[in-house]
């Protein structure tokens, strides 16, 4: 049975842990607010770019010609996995890794290479059979546009040069503070935009310069926007998961402190009762 000193030491340890988890919860909440603002800013911009591509395709009379749209027989695929640099965010990383492993199982017959974003994904896959050809870490849970451009340049160069035939992204789409959804999305080749077929509205565009030159100017920005949007969604989901996990840890620490305090009081009361019995027994023995 634990002594009073041991129980008191455990209470102090849990109390210190509770202060740490509470502080981490507050930090995660502050980071989540900033990350959520970035998500709200990035989504409309990405949606507007999709709309521009659709309008351009509807007004173009010829075939869309740009390397990012080139579809060829898939002999090699690249999987980009976006996880976190740090842990203590609940099941966030485990869910991303599980989805990536399922994707790899589905593409077992294809030559696959991996690009990791975040230390946790790299720690897992650098020991696996699939080669990790690129790794970017130390994001600090915030978007770094220079790093994002490096990632995009690396991926687009490999696709254009023919080193890979398809690039897929795995990231988490932020829905709310307590909810996110893991998304598997094709990055390259870019899915050709749907041409609007509306008989009531006829749009006639005059292109200056040619549609191909406009695509050449538009596509690099589109690729960066798509990557940045995926990253800010992933970071917001990470902060939300960490805030919830640390909140639960703080609550559990409080419950544990209540239980330990009750055990301490019981043990202390038992010790006092034992001492009283010894005193009474000694007094009775002296009388006899």
Which of the residues are catalytic? Answer: 89
Six-digit token pair at 281?
Answer: 């027994």
Burial classification of residue 154, based on how many CB atoms lie within 10 Å of its CB (0-12 exposed, 13-18 middle, 19 or more buried): middle
Distance CA 206, CA 208 (A): 7
Phi-psi region at 192: left, alpha or beta (left = phi > 0; alpha = psi -120 to 50): beta
Can you point out the beta strands (E) in the chain?
76-82, 111-117, 132-136, 166-176, 179-188
The answer to whether 135 and 99 have CB atoms below 8 angstroms apart is no
**What span, in angstroms and rounded, lies between the C-alpha atoms of 156 and 46?**
18
Q: CA 121 → CA 67, 137, 173, 286, distances in Å?
A: 29, 10, 17, 75
- Structure-derived torsion over alpha carbons of residues 116, 121, 124, 129, reported in degrees to the nearest 10: -30
DSSP annotation of 112: E
| Cβ atoms of residues 267 and 4 within 8 Å | yes
Whether the Cβ atoms of residue 50 and residue 265 lie closer than 8 Å to each other: no
- Helices vs. strands in the chain: H and E counts, helices first: 5, 5
Q: Round to whole Å and give the CA distance between 38 and 36.
A: 5
Residue 243 and residue 28 in contact, taking contact as beta carbons nearer than 8 Å = yes
């Amino acid at each position: 049975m634990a002594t009073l000193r041991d129980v008191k030491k455990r209470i102090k340890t849990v109390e210190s842990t509770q202060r740490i988890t509470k502080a981490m919860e507050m930090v995660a909440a502050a980071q989540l607010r900033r990350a959520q603002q970035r998500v709200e800013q990035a989504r409309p911009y990405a949606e507007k770019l999709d709309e521009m591509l659709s309008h351009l395709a509807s007004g173009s009379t010829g075939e869309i010609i740009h390397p990012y749209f080139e579809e060829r027989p898939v002999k090699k695929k690249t999987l980009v996995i976006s996880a976190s640099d740090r842990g203590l965010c609940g099941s966030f990383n485990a869910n991303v890794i599980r989805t990536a492993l399922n994707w790899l199982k589905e593409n077992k017959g294809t030559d696959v290479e991996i690009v990791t974003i975040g230390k946790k994904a790299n720690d897992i896959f650098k020991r696996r059979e699939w080669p990790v050809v690129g790794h970017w870490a130390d994001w600090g849970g915030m978007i770094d546009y220079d790093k994002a451009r490096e990632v995009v340049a690396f991926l687009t160069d490999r696709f254009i040069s023919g080193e890979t035939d398809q690039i897929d992204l795995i990231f988490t789409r932020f829905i709310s503070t307590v909810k996110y959804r893991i998304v598997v999305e094709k990055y390259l080749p870019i899915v050709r935009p749907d041409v609007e077929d509306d008989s009531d509205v006829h749009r006639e565009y005059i292109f200056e310069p040619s549609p191909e030159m406009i695509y050449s100017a538009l596509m690099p920005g589109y690729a960066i926007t798509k990557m940045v949007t995926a990253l800010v969604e992933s970071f917001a989901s990470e902060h939300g998961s960490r805030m919830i996990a640390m909140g639960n840890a703080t609550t559990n620490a409080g419950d544990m402190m209540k239980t330990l305090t009750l055990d301490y009081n019981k043990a202390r009361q038992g010790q006092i009762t034992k001492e009283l019995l010894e005193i009474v027994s000694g007094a009775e023995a002296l009388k006899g």
